[in-house]
Each structure stands twice: as structure tokens, then as C-alpha cells.
Amino acid sequence: MSLSDPMTIARPEAGSRQGRFARLNARRLLGLAVVGLLAASTAGCFQPMYAQTVPGTDGGTLAQTFDDIEVVFVQGRVGNEVRNDLIFGLTGGAGNPVGVPYKLVVNVKEATSSSAVVNSVTGLPEVEIVRVDVGWQLFDNANPKVPLTTGNGFGTASLDSGYQRFARARAIRDAQNRSATMAAEMIRGQLASYFLSRAPKS
């Protein structure tokens, strides 16, 4: 082959199968490059859940504000269950803080009632409802006499009525625990709304 001969390298034709694959691979590589550039440019811009800035906390996030709430001791098994769920929900398992700016006081009441569904043979209720009601007050330790805000949370759970005393007692206990968790989650949401509502209006 002389220098004047045309190039003999095989190239895929525009409409051939190889040509379509080549264009498809090029588009994929371009898409991956764009995604990589976007990821690099936005690195560090994402914030975790509850990361909204809360006014009056030197730019702290809502999660950091939750870490500044001490949940006071509550009497009773169900009350202690609500308290433990609140501590875990507010701190993510870090434990109840001490000597922090805020204090949360809760008052827990629980009740068990029978539903209107009655067994036609025995005349006994087939379903029972467990309800846990929690009234709460949030205090600033700088002024512990007047609450900053108050609210109420509740949780309900149902259980099948059993005929064995110990099985029924265990089922009621489990329903109380589920209701306590629901009430604690509701209170955490109410506290989040309170702190976020303190943001200045734009």
C-alpha cells in the first residue's frame, strides 16, 4: 500500500448495528460524566432529616435542639415506656441529657376498653382497645415556672380478647407499649412544629 492509497481502517456505517451500539455507549458515558460532575458539585450540600435551622440556637439544627431536651422521670410502667420512647426519639439513642436548656414534663394516663364487637356464643367482647394519653409541657430551665408550650399526644392499639388470664395480660402489655410508642412519636412531631414555628417570618 502506497502513501497515496486511502485509509483502509474499517469504520461502522451510520445505520449499522455496530454504529448504533457505538452511539449508545457514547451517550451512556456522557450521562455518567454528567452525573459525576453533579455529584461532585453538590457534595456537602445535603442535610440529614430534621436538619432545619432553628432560630435562637446559633444556627443549630432541629436534631441538635432535640438533644437539648431532658425528659423528666415518669411514674408507672407505661409512663416509663413513654419516657424511654421519647428519649430515644429525641436523641436517637444517645440517652437522656442532663443540664441542658430545656425540660420536658409528661403526664401519662392509660385505659383499656371493650369494643362493641361481642361473641354471639360467649357474650364476651372479641376485641379490646388500649389507649395511652400523654399531656406534656416544655420548660426553659432559665424560667422553669412558666411552660414555653404545652400539648397532648395519644396512641391506641387493639388486641383480641383471650380467655387465658396470663395471655391476656401479656397482650395488654404489648398493646400498651405500641400505644406508648405512637404517643411519643406524636409528641416529637409537635415539638418539631413548635421549634420550627419560631422561625422569623420572611
Of 200, 113, 108, the closest CA to residue 158 belongs to 113
Helix (H) or strand (E) holding 153: strand 149-160
Taking only the tens place, the pLDDT of each residue in 83-124 is 999 999 999 999 999 999 999 999 999 998 876 666 666 666
What 8-state DSSP symbol labels residue 200? Answer: P
Q: What is the average pLDDT value for the chain, to the nearest integer? A: 79
What's the confidence (pLDDT) of residue 49?
45
What's the confidence (pLDDT) of residue 177?
97
Helix (H) or strand (E) holding 139: strand 127-140
Q: Where along the chain do its domains lie? A: 10-46, 62-197
Name the burial class of residue 54, with classes exposed (0-12), middle (13-18) and buried (19+) by CB atoms within 10 angstroms of its CB: buried
Quote the pTM value. Answer: 0.68
Q: What mean pLDDT is predicted for residues 17-24?
A: 60
Taking only the tens place, the pLDDT of each residue in 114-144 is 766 666 666 666 788 999 999 999 999 999 8
Give me the percent of the chain exceeding a pLDDT of 70.
Answer: 62
Is 62-197 in CATH node 3.30.160.150?
A: yes
The amino acid at residue 195 is F
d(CA 106, CA 134): 6
d(CA 7, CA 117): 89
CA dihedral 90, 92, 97, 103 (to 10 degrees): 0
d(CA 132, CA 79): 9
Q: What are phi and psi of 182, to 5 degrees?
A: -65, -45
Taking only the tens place, the pLDDT of each residue in 21-30 is 566 566 666 6
